[in-house]
Structure 1
Amino acid sequence: MVRTRRQWGPVRSLLALLPLLVGVPWLAVKHQYSLPTPIVDQYDPITSLPQLSEATILEYAKYLSEDIGYRTPGTREHAIADAWMTEKAYQLKEECERVVATQPGRKLQCEVWRQEGNGSHRFDMMSARLYKRYVNLSNIIIRLSDGTEQGKADAVLVNSHLDSTLPSPGAADDALAVGVMIECVRVLVNTPGWEPKHAVVFLFNNAEESLQDGSHLFSTQHPIASTIRAVVNLEAAGTTGPELLFQATSQEMIEAYAHVPRPYGTIFANEIFSSGVLLSDTDFRQFEYYLNVTGLDMAVVGNSYMYHMRGDLVENIEAGVAQHMADNTFALIKHLASPASPLPGLASGYARPRTVFFAYLGQFFVYSFRTAEVLYSLLFIASCVLIKTAGGTTSRGATMVKAVFVVTVGALGALIGANAVAFVMQRMLGRGMSWFKGEFEPLILYGPAAMCGALLTQLPFTRVPERALLHAQLLSHAFLAAAGQLAGVGSSAIFFLSAVSMFVALVVDRVVTYLSTPNVDGARMMSGTGNMQSGVAKGLEDGNEKVDKDGFVSLWTYALGQVIPLLTGTQLSAATLVVFVPLTGRFGSEAPAEYIIASIVAIVGSYTLSLATPFAHRFGPTALRKAVIVLLLGVGATMAVFARKDVFDRSHQKRLFVLHKEDLNTGEQHLHIAAADGAPGFDDLVHDITTRFGVDGVPPKAVVMDNWNSDWDTLYPFSAFLSPYKIDLPLDPAYDAPWPPEEQFTVSAVNDTIDESKGTRSMTLRIDHPGIMWTVIAFDAQVLEWTLDNSPPEEFARHHIKEASFYGTDVWTVDMTIKWPSPQNMHPKSSDVGGLKVDFIGIQEKRMWPAKKADADGSQAMKLFREFDAWLDEKTGGSVDALLMGCVSGQAVV
C-alpha cells in the first residue's frame, strides 16, 4: 500500500498561501490606481513636438477654481469665467490660424461660437417631477474640422462644464476637464500634419450644476448640434485615481475606447450606473435624449469626499490624474476624428451595446454577448463533465446537491454575519458610519464578521467532502456566469473569470491525483510529491488497493483556484467601495447606509475568497470550531475599536446645509439646518447651534420634509434626502429690510384671463428677482398646457419650477392654462385661497458663504455666516463642511 505524508495543519497551510493572499491583491491595487507620470512642458524638449501638459491643465483649473472662485450659475464669478473662456477660445482660434498659415496645404479649420439663449426642460430625478427654466445662459464652442462640409457632417462632441455648484470651487468638478479640453485643442492644432477626417466639437457648457441647462441649450438650439454623432463627456466626482469609464452606450464607442493608452472601465460599473442605484447624472443625459447620440461618460471618482465640497481644490487633485484624463481623451479624439472612425455609421442611429468589456491589469477586453453566451455555456458544460467523472462520492448527484447547498448557505451566512454587526453598531451602540473616513475601513469591520458568519453556517455540515465543496463552488460560479449572461447581464463575466480559475485548478488537481496514484497493477506511482500534493487514502476491496476519490486536495489547487477571484474581487472591492463609502455621506439619514456597506463587503468578500468554504472543511470540525471562536474574538475587538472612532475629520467631512431665510411676508428670519447622512451626533450639534445662535429658550423644531416644505425648494428634489431643523433667530429691532420697490422679489400674473365656459384660466406667471438667483416657485394646480413641455400631469398636482439664468438677469416667465376653479379633491395640504397660491424662494447672489466671503455686503446673513463658520470650525475641529446660503422667500396669491 502507498502511505502519504501527513497533511499540513491550518496555520502552516495559511502561511504557505500567504504570499498569494497578499501579493495578488497588492498587484491588483497597484494596477487599479496606477497613474501616468505628470508632464510639465508643453513641448517635448527632445522632439519639440507638442505634448499634453498636466502642469498647464492644473494652472487652468486653479485659475478657475481659486482665482475666479465659486462659479455658480447666476453669480458674478460665473460671468467672469464665461468671459475668460470666451477669450481663451478666440486665442486658440488665432493660434490655429497662425499655425495653418505656416503649413501650406494643411486642411484644418478652427471655428468659435459663444451661444446665448433661453429655454426650459423637464428634469425628472429621484422619482420627482421637476421643470427647469433658464434665461440668457451661454455656452462656448470650438470646432476643429478639415474645412469641408463633408468633414463637418459627422462630428464627435467633447464636453465639460465651466460652472461649479453652490458650496464648491470646483477644481476637479469640472475645471480639470475644462483644462484637459483646452490642452487637447492646443496639441491637436500644433501637431504637424494632423487633419481631422471628421469634425471635433469642444463644448464648454456653462450650466451643468443647475441641472444640465447648458447642455440642453446646445442640444436644442445650436445650429451644429445636428451634426453630432457621438459624445465624450468628461466629469469628476472626486480628486484621485484614474478616470473611470462608467457609461458606454454602443458597441462602436466601446471599441473606440479600446484605443486609449490607459483603459479603466468595466461593464460592471456601466450596469450599476445604468440601473439607477447611484442617484447621479451628467450632461450625457441631455445629449442622449435630445440628440439621440451614443457616447462615453467618464469621471474621476477617487476620494469623492471632496465632491461638491469646499475641498475641491487643485491641491487635493492627485498627481497624474489630469495626465490620465488628458491622455485617454486625446487618444479618443484622434481615433474618432480619423478615417477609421465609426462616426459616419452612427449617423443613422445606434443600438444599445450587447458587449462585454473590462480592463484587467492594464489590458482592455472586449467581446460580444453572443461570444460570452457560447463561452460561458461551454464552461458550465465542461464543469458538469469534470464533476461527473470525478469518481467517489463527489460524482454522486445527492452529494453535489448537498455541497451546492452548503456553499450557498456559506454565502448567506457571510451576508447575515456582516449585517448582524451592522445592526449592533448602528442600533445598539449608536455608532453607525464609524468606517466613513476610509474607503477600505469597512473591510476591517465587516470582513471578519462576514467570514465568521460564513464559517458558523458550516458547523452542521462537517461531513461533506472537501473536494465536493470545491466542485460545488466551480459549478455555482459557472452556472451564474452562463445563466446571468443568457439573461443579458454582462457583469456575469466576473463569475466566468472565477470559474475559469477554479476549473483549471481542479483539472490540474485531477492530473496530479492521477499521476500520483498507483494503478490496480501497482505499475505506476509518483512518490515524494510532498505536502503540497493530494493525499491518497488507504482501502482494500477484493484484494486490490483503492484510491479515495474524496481525499484531500493539494494546496496548489487552492493557490491556482484563488488567483483570478483574488485579482477580480480586489479590483471590484476597490472600485465599489471607493464610490459607495463616501456616497453614504449624502444618502440621507433614512437610508440604510450601514447595511448597504456591510452587504457590499459580504458579497464582494465571498466572491474574492471563493474557496474559503471548502478550505474551512479541510482540517475537520475541531479546527473549524476554533476558527469560529478566533473570528468571534476578532469581530468583538474590531467592533470595540470602531465604536470609539469619530465618523468625520477635516479630510472626510460631514455635509451640513444651512439656510438663513428671511420671509418677505412676515419679516421673520430663521436658520434652517439639515444633514444628508445618518451618522450620530447631528441632533446634539443642532441643539448647540440653537443655544449659540437662536432665540433664548426656544428649542429647534424638527421639520417634516415633503413636497410642500418650501423652505428647502432651492435644493429640490435633493431636499428629500435631508433631515431638517428650523431655528428661530433673534431680530435686530433696528433692522429694516432694504427692499425698495424696484428691487422687490415678486410673483405676479399678467395676461390673466378666465374662460368660465371652458373652466380654464390662462395667464403668464412673471417672476421678478433682482439680485436673487436660483429662484424656485411651487404651486398646486391642474395644468392643462404651458410653455414648459407638452405633457403636464393630467391631474391636480404639486409643481416645482426652478430657474437658473445668467448674471444680471432678473425676470423670467411661464405661460400656462390651468383648470379653474381648482377641483374639490385637492391634496390636504393645498388650500383654496381665492386664487393660485405660489410659494417662492431664491438665493441672494451676494449672500453665500464662503463663495462671497471676500466681498461680504454687511447684511445680517453674512455677519451670521462669518461668526457661524468660525464657531463651527472650532466646535467640530473642522470635521463639518457647511453650505451657507442667504435666502429670501414668500407666498403670493395670484
Structure 2
Amino acid sequence: MASTINALKQRHNNTSKSSSVDNVGDKGYLARPSSPVKGHSAFSPVKTIFSAWSLFLAFLGIIVLITYQLHYTLPAPVFDSLNSDGQVQFSEENARKVVRHLSSDIGYRIVGTEQELETKKYLIKELSDLQENARIASLRRPQSELALPNFDMWVQVGDGSHRFDFMSKVVMKMYTNMTNIVVRLSCGPECDENAVLLNSHFDTTLGSPGAADDALGVGVMMEIIRVMSLRPAPKKNSIVFLFNGGEESLQDASHSFITTHELKDQVRAVVNLEACGTSGPEILFQANSEAMISAYGTVPYPHGTVLANDLFATGLILSDTDFRQFVDHGNLTGLDMAVYKNSYLYHTHLDLDEFMEAGLPQHMGENTLALATYLTETANLVGMESTTSIVFFDVFGLFFVSYSWATALRIHMVVGAIALVAVALQASRPTLRATVSILFSFLAALILPNFSVILLQSLGKPMQWFSHEWLSCFIFGPVSLAGMFLVQYLFHDKKASTSANELSTLSAVHMFYTICLGLASYTGFASSYVFALYSLASSIGLFHNQRRVADSRKDGLEVTRVDYTTYFVSAVMPTAYFSFVCFSLLDIFIPLTGRIGVDAPVDHIVAVLTGFITFVFCPPVLAFAHRFGSAVLRKTVVLLFLAHLFILLVTSIFVSPYNEFHPKRVFAQHLKNLTSGESMMYIAHADPGPFYEPYVADLEDMFSVKAIFRSPDNNPGDWNAIYPFNQFLESYVIDTTPYIKAQTENRTIAQSVAPLTHYVQEAPRLVAEKVSYDPKTGIRKLTVLCTHPNYIWTVASFDTHLVSWSLSSSEPFDHQSHYVIRHVGGYMSDGWRLDLEYLASGPDDRLTIELTAMETEGFGKDVERELVGSGDIGVMRKILSSRPPWVTLTYFGTTVSRFQL
C-alpha cells in the first residue's frame, strides 16, 4: 500500500511540473507537444478540461445543496402540550387549531362583516378559557413553587383618524368601532411599568381567508399565552399581547391601541408577527434598535439579515405592517418578523392552513417564545434608542451575529489591511487591465440578459420566470455567465501566459470587492459586511495559493500561476453564504416583482437581479475561465450562448407564467352607479401580465356584451373602494343590465325601463347639517353626515381648498387639493360625521362629494347582495364559475353616488 501511495504522489508531482512548464503561452493546457506512447491512451486535453470543470461545479453544487437544506429545514412539529418531563411546551398543533378555525371555519374576516364579529367572539372565548385554566393552575400550585403570572384582559373598541401615506398617495383614514383584544401577563405592579408588546392582526384582506396572514400570528400568540401563563411569572417586565382587528384596513386597530389604550405608555418595545407567504422560515426583516437585535440573538432558529432591513427601507417592496404605527405614534423600537416564502398565495383565496408548510408554526412559535422569555426575564427595556447603524445576520440559520457600525468599521479596516498585505507580499497581483475587466464583466452580467428579455417580449412571452422562484436563474443565468466570460475573453492578455492571466484576474476580483468594501463603508451601508466577507475570502485564497506554489521557485518554474485548490478555498465562503442569502432574495423578489405586472419593466428587473446573482455567486469563476487559455474560453462563451437559446426555446414552448398555485390576481367589482343608473362589472388585473385579454373575451361571450376599456388615469374614481391601490387597475367594463334583466324572476324589473339602481334600497347617503357661510372670510362651514347601513367601507372624495376639518390626525393642505377620506368601521358601524370648512365663492358654492361604498355580503362566498329580486345575485356567481384555475379572484360589490352639499 505504501509503495502504491508513493507512486501516486510521484506521478502527481511529475504531472504538476509538466503542467507548470506546458502552461506557458496563450494555449495553456492545450499546448502539450508530447506524443502518445504506443500501448497507452493519449493525453486528452478535453478530458482534462471536463474533469476540472466537473469537479469544481460539483463542489459548488454540493455547497448549494447543503445551504438549501440548512435554509429550508424547519423544526419538527410538536403535537403535545406537555413535554416528556410534564413541562408546558409550544405546540404547533395547538396553534394550527386556531389557524384552521379562523381561516376555514370563519373564513374572510374583513372589518365590518359578521365574520369579524364571529372572530372577536371566538378569540374572547378562547382567551377567557386560557385565563380560567391559568387561574385553576395557580390555585393548585404548591406554595413552595414560584407564582404564575397575573392574567389581565381588555377588549378595546375605539374611534379615531390618522394620515396614512402609501403607494405615493396621501390617504386620510377614519375608523369607528375598531376592536382590539389585549392580554397582559405580569408579575404584578413592579413588572407593569415596562412592557414588551407582541402584535398580530385577526382581520383579513378582501380576497383571502388569511391563514398565514395573519391567523398564524394569532395562533402563535394564543399558544405563547397558554405556555407563559402556566410558567412562573416574568421576573422583570410584563408582556402585552395585542390581537388587533384592523391591519388590512390600513393599520387602524394598531393606531387605536398605540394612541389611546391605557397600556400604551407602559410599552417600551414591540415584536410584530406578519406574513406574506405560506412556507419556509420566518425572517427578521425590520429592526431599529441594538438592544432588540441583540434580543433576537437568543432565538433557537435565527433567520434575518440587515440586507432585508436595507431592502425594505428603500420602499421597493410595496408593503407595510403595523410596525409602522408603533414606531411613528408610539416611538417604539422593536422587531418585525414575517413568513415570506411562497408568497404566490399571499392575499389570495389559497392562503389556507392546508397550504401552510409543516414546521412553520413551530419555527415562528419557538422563536417568538424565546424572544418573549428573554424580554420579560432579562432585558432592560428602559432607554432603548432607535438606530439603523447596526449590522446583523444569521450564519446558515445556526447562530446570529450582530454588532455596531463602529465595530463594523474596525472590522472593515482590518479586512482592508489584510488585502493590502496580500498585494504587498505579491500574493495578490492585480493589473489595471484585469481590474477593469471585472467591472465590465459585472456590467455585462447585468446588461446581456435584457436582450433576452427583448427577444421573449417580441415573441409574446413575458414573465416566463414567474412560476418558480429559481426559474429566472435557469433562463437568464447562462447568458449572464456568457457575458462575463466574453468580457474576460476580450481582456485576455495574449502576451502573458495563461497562468499569469489567471492570477491577475483572481487578484482583480480580490481588488474589486475590496474597493466595493471601501465605498460601502464610506457611505455607511450596513450591508457592506458582505463585501468584507468576499474580500477576506479572496485574501485567504490568494495566501493559500502563494503557499501552494512556493515550491515552484526551487524548480525555477513560473510562480505567477493559480493552484487548482485555490479556487475551492476562494469560493467556499462567499458561495456558501451567498447561496443561503440568495434563496431569500429569490423568494422575496420573484413573486412580488411579478405582481407588479408588465406595465412596469419587471422582466428587465428580474434579468438584472439574475445577472447580479450570477456575478456574485462564485467570484473566482472569472479567473477559472482563463485556466485553459483563450481558445477554450471562446468556445465556452459560444456554448453558453447556445445553451441559453435552447433554454429560451424550451421555456417559451412548455412554461407558462401562471398556474393554479402561482396564480394571476384579478379584481372584479360589480359597481352600481346610483347617479347615472349604470350597473357595471369591472374586471381588472391587480398584476398586469400575459393571458389577460382572453379571459376578458370569455366574459364578453358569457354576458353577450362587449367590454369597454377604462384606464385609471382617465377614470381615477372607478376603484375608489380600494384607494390607493386603484391607481394600478386598468379595467374592462361590462354592462350587466341585459344579463340581470334576462335572469331575474321579477317580471316587473325585467320589463321596466328604469335603471336597475332604482331598486337599490338603503343606499349610502350624505347630508349636510349646520351649514353656514361667512361673506367676510369666504369660508363655508358644514357637517357632513354619512349613513351606510349594510355597507362596510366608504370612501369620500372631493376637490376644494379646505381651511379646517375635524380630523385630528393632520391639518388640511394650504391650497386647492384633491382629498380622499377612507372610513372603515367594525361590525354594525353604519355611519360617520365630518366637520369641514372651505373657501367658497358664495353661500351657494356647494361641495361636490363622490361617495363609494362597499357591500357587506359576498366575501368568501359566491353570493352578493340581491337588489330586491333584480337577479343581481347571479352576477358574481357567474364570474366565479367561469374563473380559470390560474386566476385568483378578489370580488366585491359597490355603489357610487355624487352629492351636492
Alignment TM-score > 0.5, same fold: yes
C-alpha distance 137-846 of structure 1, shift in aligned 2 (>3 A) = same
How big is the shift at 1:342? 2.5
Rounded to whole Å, the distance in 2 between the matches of 1:366 and 1:91 is: 40
Q: Residue 842 of structure 1 aligns with which residue?
A: 853
Which of 431, 443, 455 is equivalent to 2:461? 431
Q: Residue 10 of structure 2 aligns with which residue?
A: none
How big is the shift at 1:855? 11
How big is the shift at 1:458? 2.3
C-alpha distance 383-851 of structure 1, shift in aligned 2 (>3 A) = farther
C-alpha distance 862-800 of structure 1, shift in aligned 2 (>3 A) = same
Q: Residue 151 of structure 1 aligns with which residue?
A: 191
Rounded to whole Å, the distance in 2 between the matches of 1:442 and 1:583 is: 14
Q: Which amino acid aligns with 2:602?
A: A
CA contact (8 A) 1:144 1:196 kept: no
CA contact (8 A) 1:113 1:141 kept: yes
How big is the shift at 1:806? 0.9
- 1:78 counterpart = 2:116: yes
C-alpha distance 860-710 of structure 1, shift in aligned 2 (>3 A) = farther
Q: Residue 604 of structure 2 aligns with which residue?
A: 595
Which of 800, 804, 807 is equivalent to 2:820? 800
Q: Kindly report which structure 2 residues correspond to 1:299-698, keeping only aligned pairs within 5 A, or say none.
A: 299-338=338-377, 340-346=378-384, 350-361=385-396, 362-390=398-426, 395=429, 400-426=431-457, 428-463=458-493, 465-518=501-554, 545=556, 547-550=557-560, 552-644=561-653, 645-695=655-705
CA contact (8 A) 1:143 1:200 kept: yes
How big is the shift at 1:107? 5.7
Q: Residue 161 of structure 1 aligns with which residue?
A: 201
CA contact (8 A) 2:163 2:810 kept: no
Q: Which amino acid aligns with 1:66?
A: S
CA contact (8 A) 1:588 1:722 kept: no
Q: CA-to-partner distance for each residue in 1:238-269, whole Å, 9 max, x for gaps? A: 11000110001100000000000000000101
Q: Equivalent residue of 1:726, what SS?
A: strand
How big is the shift at 1:118? 0.6
Q: Equivalent residue of 2:853, what SS?
A: strand
Q: What residue ranges of structure 1 are gaps of 5+ in the alignment?
A: 519-524, 526-544, 823-831
- 1:116 counterpart = 2:157: yes
CA contact (8 A) 2:760 2:868 kept: no
C-alpha distance 215-578 of structure 1, shift in aligned 2 (>3 A) = same
How big is the shift at 1:88? 1.9
Which of 758, 761, 777 is equivalent to 1:758? 777
Q: CA-to-partner distance for each residue in 1:740-775, whole Å, 9 max, x for gaps? A: 898231122212111121111111122211111111
Q: Which amino acid aligns with 1:106?
A: A
Q: Equivalent residue of 1:129, what SS?
A: strand
Rounded to whole Å, the distance in 1 between the matches of 2:760 and 2:206 is: 28
Q: Which amino acid aligns with 1:884?
A: Y
How big is the shift at 1:129? 0.4
CA contact (8 A) 1:658 1:673 kept: yes
How big is the shift at 1:777? 1.0
- 1:710 counterpart = 2:720: no
How big is the shift at 1:654? 0.5
How big is the shift at 1:274? 1.4
CA contact (8 A) 1:587 1:593 kept: yes
Which of 118, 127, 131 is equivalent to 2:172? 131
Q: Residue 64 of structure 2 aligns with which residue?
A: 25
Rounded to whole Å, the distance in 1 between the matches of 2:362 and 2:67 is: 21
Rounded to whole Å, the distance in 1 between the matches of 2:600 and 2:636 is: 34
Q: Equivalent residue of 2:166, what SS?
A: coil
How big is the shift at 1:498? 1.7
Runs of 4+ in 1 over 6 A off after TM superposition: 738-742, 853-859
Paired-residue identity, %: 33
Q: CA-to-partner distance for each residue in 1:595-645, whole Å, 9 max, x for gaps? A: 111111111221112122211122111101101110111110111112122
- 1:868 counterpart = 2:879: yes
TM-score (normalizing by structure 1)? 0.91
CA contact (8 A) 2:466 2:658 kept: yes
CA contact (8 A) 1:589 1:676 kept: no
Q: Which amino acid aligns with 1:452?
A: A
CA contact (8 A) 1:161 1:207 kept: yes
Q: Which amino acid aligns with 1:95?
A: N
How big is the shift at 1:833? 9.9
TM-score (normalizing by structure 2)? 0.90
Q: Kindly report which structure 2 residues correspond to 1:741-820, keeping only aligned pairs within 5 A, or say none.
A: 743-788=762-807, 789-820=809-840
Q: Kindly report which structure 2 residues correspond to 1:192-207, keeping only aligned pairs within 5 A, or say none.
A: 193-207=232-246
Rounded to whole Å, the distance in 1 between the matches of 2:643 and 2:332 is: 53
Which of 228, 231, 234 is equivalent to 1:188? 228
Rounded to whole Å, the distance in 2 between the matches of 1:708 and 1:755 is: 35
C-alpha distance 3-359 of structure 1, shift in aligned 2 (>3 A) = closer
Q: CA-to-partner distance for each residue in 1:284-303, whole Å, 9 max, x for gaps? A: 01111111000000010011
- 1:54 counterpart = 2:92: yes
CA contact (8 A) 2:112 2:827 kept: yes
Q: Which amino acid aligns with 2:475?
A: L
Q: Equivalent residue of 2:383, what SS?
A: helix
Q: CA RMSD in A?
A: 2.2
CA contact (8 A) 1:848 1:886 kept: no
Q: Equivalent residue of 1:667, what SS?
A: coil
CA contact (8 A) 1:773 1:804 kept: yes
Q: Equivalent residue of 1:246, what SS?
A: strand
C-alpha distance 859-884 of structure 1, shift in aligned 2 (>3 A) = farther
C-alpha distance 341-852 of structure 1, shift in aligned 2 (>3 A) = farther
CA contact (8 A) 2:77 2:358 kept: yes
Rounded to whole Å, the distance in 1 between the matches of 2:228 and 2:444 is: 56
CA contact (8 A) 2:171 2:820 kept: yes
Rounded to whole Å, the distance in 2 between the matches of 1:52 and 1:494 is: 35
Stretch deviating more after TM superposition (587-596 or 792-801) = 587-596
Q: Which amino acid aligns with 2:830?
A: D
C-alpha distance 101-740 of structure 1, shift in aligned 2 (>3 A) = farther
Q: CA-to-partner distance for each residue in 1:705-743, whole Å, 9 max, x for gaps? A: 139621101111112222222222234454375878982
Q: Residue 140 of structure 1 aligns with which residue?
A: 181
How big is the shift at 1:377? 2.0
Matched residue count: 838
Rounded to whole Å, the distance in 2 between the matches of 1:57 and 1:281 is: 25
C-alpha distance 461-245 of structure 1, shift in aligned 2 (>3 A) = same
Q: CA-to-partner distance for each residue in 1:160-219, whole Å, 9 max, x for gaps? A: 00111101001111011101001001011112x343420100000001010001101101
Q: Which amino acid aligns with 1:431?
A: K
Q: What residue ranges of structure 2 are gaps of 5+ in the alignment?
A: 1-13, 23-28, 30-44, 742-747, 750-754
Q: Equivalent residue of 1:210, what SS?
A: coil
How big is the shift at 1:353? 3.4
C-alpha distance 181-851 of structure 1, shift in aligned 2 (>3 A) = farther
C-alpha distance 670-517 of structure 1, shift in aligned 2 (>3 A) = same
Q: Equivalent residue of 1:140, what SS?
A: strand
Q: Equivalent residue of 1:743, what SS?
A: coil
Q: Residue 536 of structure 1 aligns with which residue?
A: none
